[in-house]
Amino acid sequence: MSSSFRNALAERHQQSQLPDVFADAYPEQSEARETPVDLWGVILDPVNPKSDARVSVILMKFLRARFVRICYLNSTFKVSSRHLSVPDARAMLVNTLRWREKFDIKAIMQEDFPKDIFGTLGYLYGRDKEGRPVV
């Protein structure tokens, strides 16, 4: 089985678990299984995860992050998808969603700081095509 085929299977399995992932991440919300989540400017829709190709990119990042950790711990640097762990990636995604909710990342991203106080600490060059600040 080719590595690209294994990657596709792992990603598909991960996409099918999105409603359960959201339910685990937000146990107090009864509608979490159907509610889309914004992660890094990409809407993860648990009902229709294939509606945006960027969802696949995000899910693969979580799969590969687990892979890199395994390779580093085993002192192995050979790239192989045999080590892609959907359960580990799933746990990492749940923890990421919980962390973002705990620290209210949406509010932080919308926060404006007074220029007269913080103007010398950094410079906001403008916004990208999706409206995010470029520093």
Q: Does residue 64 form part of some domain?
A: yes
pLDDT at 51: 73
Low-confidence ranges of the chain (pLDDT < 70): 1-14, 66-83, 119-124
pLDDT at 65: 76
Q: Does residue 47 form part of some domain?
A: yes
- The single-letter code of the amino acid at 104 is D
Domain that holds residue 37: 3-110
pLDDT at 134: 82
**Alpha carbon separation from 134 to 38, 125, 129 (Å, rounded):** 19, 6, 10
Q: Where are the beta strands (DSSP E) in 62-131?
A: 126-127
Q: Does residue 132 form part of some domain?
A: no
Q: Does residue 116 form part of some domain?
A: no
pLDDT at 1: 45
Query: Can you tell me whether residue 69 is helix, strand or coil?
Result: helix
Task: Work out how many domains the chain is built from and give that number.
Answer: 1
Instruction: Read off the pTM.
Output: 0.68
